[in-house]
Chains A and B, each alone.
Chain A
């Protein structure tokens, strides 16, 4: 008996099939993508742990601002790494200082948590097999997960920046901004430049998101994927400090992260910023493709 025989319609006179069910439309409804994405967003932003994470990140500029405010008249006032020393003079710098503080560890950790949840978390909970049996095509699911993680990371950067802006304005006031060269530009221009810093920081994290998602497709243990993502960011930063490896520095994931200072030059060199974003684009392309090829072919046995 070949499969073709079996699949043929029954011959006339053979038994009628079981009582007929209402035929169901199996055509995709319009807006199905949006529906799935909204559902995913509700899942990510409705999770208490994720909201706690966002709140924790938002507390960083608050804490930093208060510390600087309390100590500004002491001998240590006006000192500190990065732009910390300039915050007391102009609250606008609190945005940049806070983002700098969160970049090396806290933001990669946020990416690790969100991307670890995305695939490995669903695998561990067993919900992945049910989503795929619904069915959601694996490509669509991965795309929606990527958008959700990127949105969450974007929200984290935005939360830090907004809380920093408000805290800075309340504690130190906002004023015309003095650039690296000593030139002063108006507050409106300064606000734009700070917004540019936040946007660049957010875009600089896309490469690590792709890496995190790829790692998430490799395991059923979300904590493992999370830790590995953080390790990738840290190892990249360490390699970036070794002069012996100068030749590979420009391609490192984290090498261009601090190029945001470009926004504080009189003439912003878009070439420098574009280069940094191009490197991120390459990481996204490579690890996005790896994540896709892994996720669309892997056996789901969890």
Chain B
């Protein structure tokens, strides 16, 4: 896909940054990555992550499913018991020194020195980066603060920040330099709906500029919409991964029709005559599994029968439903 095509696709709807697995360069790749802690608990069990460059990879799973341990292994914080990991084509943790400056991270929530201001905390992180240019440090830090909307509060001590402001500062730290890969672990944690939207917007913006984003969350719906690829973890295993539209397209779609109340009966007859079974009527709405019937045939038939079409929607099973089917358990028990 060329840059123009990307731009066009952007203008028209959700982008699918397709890159068939294995043929393109990969931003993240692991082979049999496993972590067994000293307690004997296997936190991550032989996972093979494939994150194409330019993708937004939603790394999903309930709390405790091994997402954070995987991310810690990717960044060289935790040593794998077995298996290997590559970031941007370089082996980790061997290549960490030259590689990690190209990777921005937010791991398991923001963490900063409480008695330093947001700005001073960024300065400290930048000073720790041997490859960062000290001459541009101030400008880069101000730009990052601006980008996450924290400029006004940048002089306040970190301990006075609200959870949302802390999260924003964490994102600012990840954006201190232009990055090729962003690893964002639960970036929407603690944010209100507005903040969550802003993070989604930011992720989309970064991805459009060519940054690969690996974003983890235990709340499917919060990030599902921005992802081009999805990987779902459960109990230390990668249950499935792939392009989002492929995964969600796998399930059985259903059609939901809304019409005026007195025409519900007629509409139900039309649907049944098309061969749809299990039509469920709920007020002015009807829903039935589509089976092999094309949605456009449904709309044409309804219009032909003189039914006022207030709405018609093809519903695909959500990732959440997919997950429940895969694991037989709720996605986030705590909620």
B96 at interface, CB cutoff 8 A: yes
Q: Cα distance A135–B95 when bound, in Å?
A: 11
Nearest CB in chain A: distance from B223 CB, A: 19
Q: Is the CB of B111 within 8 A of A127?
A: yes
By beta carbon, the residue of chain B nearest A137 is B97
Among residues of A, the one whose C-beta sits closest to the C-beta of B22 is A1
Establish whether residues B133 and A29, one from each chain, have CB atoms under 8 Å apart when the complex forms: yes
A6 CA to B50 CA in the complex, in Å? 9
Q: Shortest Cβ distance from B282 into chain A, in angstroms? A: 44
Q: A7 to B24, Cβ gap below 8 A?
A: no
The segment from B25-33, B263-271, B283-291, B301-309 that touches chain A is B25-33
B195 within 8 A of A: no
- B161 interface residue per 8 A CB criterion: no
Contact pattern, A 111-151, Cβ under 8 Å of B = 1, otherwise 0: 00000000000000111011111111100110000000000
Bound Cα distance A32, B101 (Å): 14
For A301, list chain B residues within 8 Å (CB).
Answer: 72, 77-78
A129 close to B77 (CB less than 8 A): yes
Q: Which of A1, A6, A127, A130 has the most CB of B within 10 A?
A: A130
- Taking CB atoms, residues of chain B closer than 8 Å to A28 are 130-131
Set of chain A residues within 8 Å of B100, measured between Cβ atoms: 133-135
Residues in A neighbouring B180, C-beta threshold 8 A: 21, 24
The answer, yes or no, to whether A17 is at the interface (CB within 8 Å) is yes
When chains A and B are docked, how far (Å) is the Cα of A127 from the Cα of B124?
A: 11
A-B contact count (CB 8 A): 158
Within the complex, the shortest CB–CB distance from A110 to chain B, in Å, comes to 19
Contact assessment for B26 and A7 in the assembled complex, using a CB-CB cutoff below 8 Å: yes
In the complex the two chains form, what is the Cα distance from A32 to B129 in whole Å? 8
Chain A residue with the shortest CB-CB distance to B18: A15
| CB-CB contacts below 8 Å: A274-302 with B | 297, 299-301
- Asked whether B178 lies within 8 Å of A22 as measured between CB atoms, the reply is yes
CB distance from B204 to the nearest CB of A (A): 13
A15-B102 contact in complex given A299-B77, A300-B72, C-beta closer than 8 Å = no
Cα(A11)–Cα(B22), bound, Å:
11
**Residue in A5, A18, A31, A39 whose CB lies within 8 Å of B124:** A39
Assembly CA distance A242 to B73 (angstroms): 49
Whether B97 contacts A135 by the Cβ 8 Å rule is yes
At the interface, is chain A mostly helix, strand, loop or mixed?
loop
Which residues of chain B have C-beta atoms less than 8 A from A297's C-beta? 79
| B108 neighbours in A (Cβ, 8 Å) | 126, 129
A36 interface contact, C-beta 8 A: yes
- With a cutoff of 8 Å between Cβ atoms, the chain A residues found around residue B212 in the complex are 18
In the bound complex, residues from chain B placing their C-beta under 8 Å from that of A5 are 22
Tell me if A300 and B78 are in contact (CB < 8 A): yes
Give chain A interface residues in 1-24, CB to chain B under 8 Å. Answer: 1, 3, 5-7, 9-11, 14-22, 24
Q: Which residue of A lies closest to B103 (CB)?
A: A133
Given A21-B209, A130-B111, A133-B107, A39:B123 Cβ within 8 A: yes
Q: Is B24's CB under 8 angstroms from A24's CB?
A: no
Q: Is the CB of B177 within 8 A of A130?
A: no
B1: which of A15, A35, A140 is its contact (CB, 8 Å)? A15
Minimum CB–CB distance for A188 against chain B, Å: 42
C-alpha spacing A135/B6, complex, angstroms: 32
Interface positions of B (Cβ within 8 A of A):
1-3, 6, 17-19, 22-26, 29, 31, 50, 53-54, 72, 75-79, 84, 86, 89, 96-103, 105, 107-109, 111-116, 123-125, 127-134, 173, 177-178, 180, 209-212
Additional A-B contact list (13), CB under 8 Å, known A5-B22, A10-B24: A3-B29, A6-B26, A10-B23, A26-B102, A28-B131, A29-B130, A43-B113, A125-B111, A126-B109, A129-B111, A134-B125, A136-B129, A300-B77
What are the nearest 10 A-B pairs in CB distance?
A: A18-B54, A126-B111, A32-B130, A39-B127, A19-B210, A135-B100, A28-B130, A300-B77, A18-B210, A26-B98
